[in-house]
């Protein structure tokens, strides 16, 4: 028979930030347990609310299927005496299994026939198996810190209050987390705190809805978004709803009720990032902005009760948020009493790294480096130098002290208030971009220059004192920083080599670094080693990356152009044939002792296939030359696709290792030219079929 099963674990309020994770993990663990037990089912629906985790298992088997287990004994040859009676070996096997000779079977183990016992195993019932599956699933949930409640030795993320376990409308006799399972749950803590009976597994959601609980996490979240957007539309604004904050708020309420409140417009003079940060992080509010992204004097919060007088709830939240906004305003105004540039002195007391000096030392180095990089990025050298000297000054400000995530952003506000030009001011906030994979890049040339200089200085300094990342240890986030460097170069189309960038960074350090030459080699290799991670994140196949890495391009932009060319090449119908042919060419040439001629003697071409290949190669050279000159690698590979047929015919009709040494060497020279043409772009021989 098939059944629907409901499991609900009732607790004190679960951690809202991890509620969704707990829900999904519980479902995955139970799925694994049911599969291992051989219990078939149609689907599992997982629910989660602040005080409960629940599962509805649909159409699950009432028992395991019956099975048969084989117990192996000795070989037939050793199992019987010459007269056919059981040997001592077989008697020992039968005694161990508790069977007689009539129950012995045989099977083939390879080429040897052996005796065995096929034991029929009765499948266990769902009622017997499920409690232990559920308990194991709970024990395996990703909980960083567990707690015990009262005298119980059983641990969980929060104290357990009740357990529901129903098979259709029948309670399954079980004890889970030291609680006897029943059919009684509890409603909303304030609107309906009394016990409520779940009459049937299928009626779980509807029953809880009647007691003011929306148990479905996704349904609650959708309701929050719907109500929030409606309130935002009423004031012609858009709500900022970060995914993590939305998940957390969804984990805080059983019955979401969105309300809109406001704050004094004078606070809008404060950097909006500070206001948004304090309202999101401390109060769990959704902030409102207009179409231009400017903060509006409203916020939306999600209440867990349906108040008879919402105005009092709104007023209470406005009263709570006002001191926090006032604090941000106070810090902002205090900071303006001191010019940004004057804060440089304080940087001399802030250590960047013990062997590399203070943040003031770092600022001086970045200024030199940024000025040198300006010719590469197209930035104004004076702007680049000035922005570098101001870049770290806001780290000494009151605002950044209270809101560390505003570093750079605060500097931009202060620089604008002091009349700095837009390039310099914006660069202060853009120096930290990109902050993570897929993040936006600086929009100004000065910001790009400063972001590059800052990362290169840190990278070269850490390598220069012998503290390069090892294993999982990367305290200065150099791996992420390296990918940021590559992105800044590639996406801004900067034609510059990694060698030249590192050289500039070394010069800015003067004589601080221990072994500059070795540090440079290691730093360049480290940056080149980040290509794989960068492109794999973009979905580029590993063999495409390896095909380009085989040529070790010195410029990240050049590397990127080759990657895109090889990707396009793989889509050509001739790609598979050409890749296989290049493998063959590479293998042949690798076995050659001595030098191969640079030119092909046309007079030594005897076979039609080698003459045709020679003609095609000469035509390809003429076509490829102008394309190579302008780094049109995709055009080069597209042109070389025409070699597929003549190259195939060559291998089908021509013996490369001819007895005549002159013919052999001439054919090797021809293959060398084919190889050289493809190696203009990448080693396509490493591409997989």
Cα(545)–Cα(218) distance, integer angstroms: 40
Please, what is the Cα angle at 39 between 36 and 43, to 5 degrees?
105
DSSP letter, residue 109? E
Using H for helix, E for strand and C for coil, what is the string for 537-597? HCCCCHHHHHHHHCCCCCCHHHHHHHHHHHHHHHCCCCHHHHHHHHHHHHHHHHCCCCCCC
Low-confidence ranges of the chain (pLDDT < 70): 689
Cα(274)–Cα(296) distance, integer angstroms: 14
Q: Are 98 and 60 in contact (CB under 8 A)?
A: no
Helix (H/G/I), strand (E/B), else coil: 657: coil
Tokens linked to 219: 């349904």
Buried b or exposed e, range 198-233, using 16+ CB within 10 angstroms: beebbebbebbeebbbbbbbeebbebbbebbbebbe
Tokens linked to 439: 């993040």
Which pLDDT value is given to residue 363? Answer: 96
Cα(288)–Cα(276) distance, integer angstroms: 9
Of the candidates 498, 483, 485, the residue with the CA atom closest to the CA atom of residue 449: 485
Q: How many C-beta atoms surround the C-beta of residue 334 within 10 A?
A: 12
- Tokens 């995530």 correspond to what residue? 405
Which pLDDT value is given to residue 606? Answer: 87
Torsion angle in degrees (nearest 10) through CA of 576, 582, 585, 586: -130
Of the candidates 548, 564, 572, 547, the residue with the CA atom closest to the CA atom of residue 644: 572
Q: What are phi and psi of 550, to 5 degrees?
A: -60, -25
Q: Are 133 and 30 in contact (CB under 8 A)?
A: yes
DSSP letter, residue 124? P
Cα(270)–Cα(388) distance, integer angstroms: 24
Q: Specify which residues 365 forms β-bridges with.
A: none
DSSP 219-254: HHHHHHHHHHHHHHHTTT-EE---HHHHHHHHTT-S
Which pLDDT value is given to residue 593? Answer: 87
Q: How many helices (H) and strands (E) does the chain have?
A: 27, 20
Cα(652)–Cα(646) distance, integer angstroms: 10
Q: What region does 113 belong to: left with phi over 0, alpha with psi -120 to 50, or beta?
A: beta
- Tokens 């000096």 correspond to what residue? 357
Which pLDDT value is given to residue 148? Answer: 84
Cα dist from 528 to 312, 464, 473, 543, 583, whole Å: 60, 17, 19, 16, 25
The burial of 568, by beta-carbon neighbours within 10 Å (0-12 exposed, 13-18 middle, 19 or more buried), is given as middle
Which pLDDT value is given to residue 270? Answer: 95
The burial of 640, by beta-carbon neighbours within 10 Å (0-12 exposed, 13-18 middle, 19 or more buried), is given as buried
Helix (H/G/I), strand (E/B), else coil: 386: helix
Which pLDDT value is given to residue 536? Answer: 94
Cα(20)–Cα(648) distance, integer angstroms: 57
Helix (H/G/I), strand (E/B), else coil: 655: coil
Radius of gyration of the chain (CA): 36
Give, to the nearest 10 degrees, the angle between helix 498-509 and helix 516-529: 140
Edge-to-edge strand order for the sheet containing 295-303? 238-239, 286-289, 295-303, 257-262
| Most distant CA atoms of the chain, gap in Å | 110
Cα(647)–Cα(615) distance, integer angstroms: 11
């Amino acid at each position: 028979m098939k059944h629907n099963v409901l499991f609900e674990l009732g607790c004190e309020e679960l951690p809202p930030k991890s509620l969704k994770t707990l829900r999904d993990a519980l479902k995955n663990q139970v799925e694994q347990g049911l599969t291992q037990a051989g219990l078939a089912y149609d689907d599992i629906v997982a629910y989660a609310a602040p005080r409960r985790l629940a599962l509805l298992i649909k159409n699950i088997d009432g028992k395991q299927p019956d099975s048969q287990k084989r117990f192996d004994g000795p070989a037939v040859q050793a199992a019987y005496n010459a007269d056919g009676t059981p040997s001592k070996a077989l008697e020992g096997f039968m005694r161990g299994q508790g069977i007689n000779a009539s129950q012995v079977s045989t099977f083939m183990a390879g080429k040897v026939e052996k005796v065995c016992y096929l034991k029929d195993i009765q499948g266990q019932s769902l009622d017997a198996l499920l409690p232990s599956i559920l308990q194991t699933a709970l024990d395996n949930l990703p909980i960083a810190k567990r707690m015990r409640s009262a005298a119980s030795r059983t641990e969980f993320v929060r104290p357990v209050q009740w357990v529901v376990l129903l098979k259709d409308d029948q309670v399954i006799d079980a004890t889970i987390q030291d609680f006897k399972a029943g059919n009684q749950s509890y409603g909303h803590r304030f609107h309906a705190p009394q016990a409520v009976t779940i009459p049937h597994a299928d009626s779980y959601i509807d029953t809880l809805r009647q007691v003011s609980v929306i148990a479905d996490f996704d349904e609650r979240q959708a309701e929050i978004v719907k109500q929030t957007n409606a309130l935002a539309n009423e004031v012609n604004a858009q709500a900022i709803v970060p995914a993590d904050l939305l998940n957390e708020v969804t984990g805080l309420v059983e019955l979401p009720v969105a309300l809109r409140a406001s704050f004094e417009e004078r606070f809008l003079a404060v950097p909006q990032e500070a206001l948004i940060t304090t309202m999101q992080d401390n109060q769990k509010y959704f902030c409102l902005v207009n179409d231009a992204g400017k903060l509006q004097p409203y916020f939306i919060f999600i209440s867990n009760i349906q108040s008879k007088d919402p105005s009092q709830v709104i007023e209470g939240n406005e009263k709570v948020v006002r001191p926090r906004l006032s604090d941000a305003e106070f810090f902002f105004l205090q900071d303006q009493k001191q010019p940004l540039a004057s804060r440089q002195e304080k940087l001399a007391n802030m250590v960047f790294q013990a062997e590399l000096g203070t943040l003031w030392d770092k600022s001086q180095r970045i200024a030199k480096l940024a000025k040198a990089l300006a010719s590469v990025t197209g930035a104004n050298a004076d702007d680049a130098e000035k922005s570098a000297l101001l870049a770290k000054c806001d780290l000494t400000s009151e605002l950044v002290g209270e809101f560390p995530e505003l570093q750079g952003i605060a500097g931009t506000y202060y620089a604008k208030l002091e009349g700095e030009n837009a390039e310099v001011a914006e660069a202060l906030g853009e120096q930290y971009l990109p902050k993570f994979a897929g993040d936006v890049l600086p929009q100004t040339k000065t910001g790009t220059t400063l972001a590059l200089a800052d990362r290169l200085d840190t990278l070269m300094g850490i390598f220069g004192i012998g503290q390069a990342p090892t294993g999982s240890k990367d305290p200065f986030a150099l791996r992420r920083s390296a990918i940021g460097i590559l992105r800044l170069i590639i996406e801004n189309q900067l034609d510059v080599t990694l060698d030249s960038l590192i050289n500039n960074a070394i010069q800015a350090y003067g004589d601080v670094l221990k072994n500059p030459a070795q540090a440079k080699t290691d730093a360049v290799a480290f940056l080149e080693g980040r290509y794989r991670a960068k492109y794999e994140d973009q979905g580029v196949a590993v063999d495409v990356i390896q095909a380009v890495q085989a040529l070790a391009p010195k410029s990240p932009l050049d590397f990127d152009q080759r990657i895109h060319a090889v990707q396009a090449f793989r889509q050509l119908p001739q790609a598979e044939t050409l890749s296989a042919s290049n493998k063959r060419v590479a293998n042949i040439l690798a076995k050659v002792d001595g030098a191969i001629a640079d030119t092909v003697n046309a007079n030594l071409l005897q076979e039609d296939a080698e003459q045709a290949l020679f003609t095609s190669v000469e035509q390809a050279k003429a076509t490829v030359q102008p394309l190579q000159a302008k780094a049109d690698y995709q055009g080069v590979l597209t042109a070389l696709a025409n070699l597929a047929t003549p190259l195939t015919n060559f291998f089908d009709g021509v013996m490369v290792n001819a007895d005549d040494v002159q013919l052999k060497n001439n054919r090797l020279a021809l293959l060398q030219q084919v190889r050289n043409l493809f190696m203009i772009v990448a080693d396509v021989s490493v591409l997989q079929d």
